[in-house]
Amino acid sequence: MLSFLIANFFLAYIIGIDELGKLVEEGIFVNFGTFSALVLFTLVFFFVYSWFREQACIIVCPYGRLQGVLLDKNSILVAYDYVRGEPRGKITELGNGDCVNCHACVRVCPTGIDIRNGTQLECVNCTACIDACNEIMDHIGKPQGLIRYASENNIAKKEKTTYTWRLKMYTIVLTALISFLALLLITRADVSARIIKTPGQTYQKLEGGKISNLYNIKLANKTRRLIHVVLKLEEMEGEISMINPIDVPKESYFQTSFFVTFKKEQLHHRKTKFKVGIYENGKCIQTATATFLGPVIQK
Ligand code: SF4
Ligand code: SF4
């Protein structure tokens, strides 16, 4: 049941919670394809939680594998201090390191690895082994940090972490990515629009030598206020006849239809591209293009 619930949330994440509510109201038989996909995802989630478990992290998730490519001996990660810990063994035996071989770090590891064997792809950096080992160190009166965030060079050569060329390159790449993301956010339009010709409809011949086509427009309002928009043709003379006024609710989609009419003489091909401006309070906030179908008029 939890898997089914998670599959529903997953679907809501993709299509929106209101759309999911509509599908539920309409019933299983009307939306049988969607329901089948939901059942399929439920089975996938159930499979992962009941059997596959940490193998999703180890085998499927690319994060660990990508990390392996990015690391070197100066990379700071969850590491076992083998210089201090080895040889492992009972605290009562002379000559042993600080690791008492209690396996607490192995028992708490969600991916079932022994961090004392070195850095491994399976490690998801959850730090559970650090906490478990610190607790043991407290019990036996040794300093914490036998497992800690450290690099290979920190442990083996007692070197301090330095700002290496690799780190400098990562900083440049990260800065470029953050700048790109910021640019996308700053230049993001409040409204996005998609216009497509209504399927199954051909052009209509009107009186006075005019040709008209029916279109669907889908608008997404990304703001937190209702937006009233007006459509106007850009670059070409013609008419737009709306069926309904366009009031796009906040943070929602809105879909409606409208006719576009041009004079025959304006159409020199079977398909003519035209541009529609979307205006709010007289200001163009977005444009969208579509294709007009009509008879071919020779020049
Ligand atoms: S950080 Fe987490 S995943 Fe990595 S070895 Fe420790 S317990 Fe295991
Ligand atoms: S928890 Fe610490 S002391 Fe125990 S086995 Fe792991 S590293 Fe050794």
Q: Token pair for residue 147?
A: 């497992």
Q: Which ligand is nearest to the CA of 133?
A: 2
Using the CB atoms, write b or e for 201-225: b if 16+ within 10 Å: eebeeeeeebbbbbbbbebbbeeee
Mean pLDDT over each residue of the chain, to the nearest integer: 90
Q: Tell me, using a 6 A CB cutoff, whether residue 123 lines ligand 1.
A: yes
pTM: 0.60
- Pairing outcome for strands 271-280 and 227-234: antiparallel
What is the structure's pLDDT at 64?
A: 67
The finding on whether 109 has its CB within 6 A of some atom of ligand 1 is: yes
pLDDT above 80 for 299: no
Categorize the per-residue pLDDT at 159 as very low, low, confident or very high, splitting at 50, 70 and 90: confident
Tokens of 214: 């029916």
H-helix or E-strand spanning residue 218: strand 210-221
pLDDT at 106: 96
Q: How far apart are CA 203 and CA 268, in angstroms?
A: 15
- Cβ–Cβ < 8 Å for 221, 252: yes
pLDDT in tens, 8-21: 999 999 888 888 88
Per-residue DSSP letter, 266:
G
Indicate if the pLDDT at residue 275 is higher than 60. Answer: yes
User: 30-44, 54-68, 217-231, 280-294: lowest mean pLDDT where?
Assistant: 54-68
Q: Best substitution site from 84, 98, 146 to test ligand 2's pocket, by max atoms within 8 Å of Cβ?
A: 146
Domains of the chain (ranges, CATH numbers): 2-52 (no CATH), 71-188 (no CATH), 191-293 (2.60.40.10)
| Beta pairing class for 246-248 and 227-234 | antiparallel
Tell me, in angstroms, the distance from the centre of ligand 1 to residue 156's CA: 20
